[in-house]
Structure 1
Amino acid sequence: MTKLVLASCTADLYLYVDHLPTSAQDVKVISRQMVLGGCGYHVSKACPDSILVCPIGTGMYAQFVKEKLLSEEIETITPMVSQKNGVCICLIEPNGQRTFLSSHGAEYFYTPQMLVDLPQADWIYISGIDLEEKQNQCLIDYCAKTSSKIFFAPGPRISAIPSVLKQMLDLKPVLHMNKEECEAWCQCSFQEGMVSLSEKTQKPVIVTDASRGSYAYDGKKLYHEVEEAVVTKNATGAGDTHAASCLDSLSQKMPFDEMLRRANRASIQKITQGKEEL
């Protein structure tokens, strides 16, 4: 089944540090690395039969994205825009946790014209971070007109997109988020939040909880699967990879417990990659 991934592909600058700096502090970078990133890239990379739809602009970061995408086995549709691409600076701590400093550019600039001739898909993936940009209302409008099933990952900046969340719920999407995002959105425990959101969408809700595994609620039953603990080297893209695996499993109508186990394993593989393996 074909999936359209309407989400950004970015240039990510990884800076490996001993600790995060405090205000006015000088911290030495242990090592640095430039890689492809962004929700759209990570999802497309981990989800077979997907097409990444992401604008590309101008400048050094756009050139980096263009060149790197050519070496990836990812089907892409990359409309060109005149503004410069941005960059995402990722501070990576020794425990693998990451902190993002994002400068949005052309990769977040969708227009209605870009969406006119897209191929018909069985599923559409869309992320909340892309919907923060006002011009990307066109993505919601496109989803509202299509017959495709919607898979929505609201992301960490729930408080920045209240009107977007309401519009997306009206589209009855499958939802994927982490525990903290679910509780911030619903203002209750994530288990209660999953039930509440599923009642609104009549679709499954999937929640990840770091080393404590992941959950899925299908409107009747709460599923929970945990894998063995591992040492995290870099958590960047773990949630996107988990979401991508879930999307692929749903497209194949896999049982929910199998879907979660499969997604957990994919996420673990992602977070245990060191910089030498990227």
Structure 2
Amino acid sequence: MTSRRPACFISTGSVLIDLPLQVNRIPAPGGAVTASSTGPVVGGGYTVVSAVARQGKPAALAATLGTGPNSALVREAMMLDGVELVVEELVGDIGTCITLIEPSGRRTFVTNEGIEAEPQLDDLRQLDLLPGDWVHATGYDIVHPLSHRVLADWLVDLPEGVGLVVDLGPVEPEIGAATLGRLLGRATLLTGNHLEITQLGARLGSPAALREACPGALIVRRTGVHGCVLWPAGGSPIEVAGFSRDVVDTTGAGDTHTGVLVAGLMDGLDEVTAATRANAAAAEAVSRQGPARCPLREEIDALLSEA
């Protein structure tokens, strides 16, 4: 009898190379500012899949990589984290995101695109998805004119028993009403920061309308240093306290939170326990430079013991 493989987390989020630049201020139009940097790092959709892998759970990337030097950097990171690439590469290379980081941790992005915006439907259809797997999608890819045409229909038609994690991000207002409604209706976990979830509720008419739009989803409102608020399907909102750390760089904090939360659910933890671990991981991540800086499972255990 053939044994079943372990449940896997699969991210469709497009991966970029981040160039973080520390600045004292954002220059005025036509102005100039001196920046410091530690060099390029792997970012974008890689952060969430890296966070899952660092908890010891099977993690895979279903986002397009290319044949150029940027993609080679991603493959090096994947080897270190134990992340598998489950789609074919394309000729070309992924893009770059320049991130201007102010002393407060606030970020400003300038992105140039590459082949990460060209997911292949045949590749996604050939994925061997099983009940217990989780698929992660971002608003950036859902709203993009190229990737939208591939991802939107594929995501809402995922096999029964496969969880769908939706992080709409700040581009949610650009997602059409029909696509938004279908995604929310299929979502198993909907996550966003306080502003994003508030704006989505306002767009739909009320928090109650948001709850009705995604009846089967755990809704996660990330509240920074305060932690997060969970709204389970069929239950009432639950506030889960956060952890305080000195903020160095908030890049990827939300994805770190999401990855550790889902990894906890894959481990069979209850929602509050998984969210507590996610809060600790996100707090530690913002005290480190760069996007994919999620602490390892044992580091989170140590943080919780100290707390």
Q: TM-score, normalised by structure 1?
A: 0.89
State the match for 1:274 in structure 2. Answer: 289
The CA deviation at 1:260 is: 1.8
Return 29-38 or 251-260, whichever deviates more.
251-260
SS of the residue corresponding to residue 18 of structure 2 reads strand
State the match for 2:157 in structure 1. Answer: 145
Counterparts of 1:15-164 in structure 2 under 5 Å? Answer: 15-39=21-45, 41-47=46-52, 48-121=57-130, 122-136=133-147, 137-147=149-159, 148-163=162-177, 164=179
What is the number of equivalent residue pairs in this alignment?
A: 274
State the match for 1:197 in structure 2. Answer: 210
Q: Distance in 1 between matches of 2:225 and 2:203?
A: 21
Q: Distance in 2 between matches of 1:69 and 1:229?
A: 30
Structure showing the higher strand proportion among its residues: 1
Counterparts of 1:223-238 in structure 2 under 5 Å? Answer: 223-238=238-253
The CA deviation at 1:217 is: 0.5
Does residue 213 (structure 1) correspond to residue 227 (structure 2)? The answer is: yes
The CA deviation at 1:140 is: 2.4
Counterparts of 1:157-172 in structure 2 under 5 Å? Answer: 157-163=171-177, 164-172=179-187
SS of the residue corresponding to residue 187 of structure 1 reads helix
State the match for 1:2 in structure 2. Answer: 8
The CA deviation at 1:139 is: 1.9
Which of 208, 215, 237 pairs up with 1:222? 237
Q: TM-score, normalised by structure 2?
A: 0.82
Q: Distance in 2 between matches of 1:259 and 1:247?
A: 7
Q: Distance in 2 between matches of 1:172 and 1:228?
A: 28
State the match for 1:256 in structure 2. Answer: 271
Whether the 8 Å contact between 1:198 and 1:204 is mirrored in structure 2 is: no
RMSD: 2.3
1:40-96 Cα deviation digits (max 9, x unpaired): x11111112221111112444234333443443222224212344211111111222
- Unaligned runs of 5+ residues in structure 1 are none
Q: Distance in 2 between matches of 1:108 and 1:189?
A: 28
SS of the residue corresponding to residue 37 of structure 2 reads strand
Q: Distance in 2 between matches of 1:98 and 1:152?
A: 22
Q: Distance in 1 between matches of 2:198 and 2:266?
A: 27
The AA in structure 2 aligned to 1:110 is: P
The CA deviation at 1:38 is: 0.8
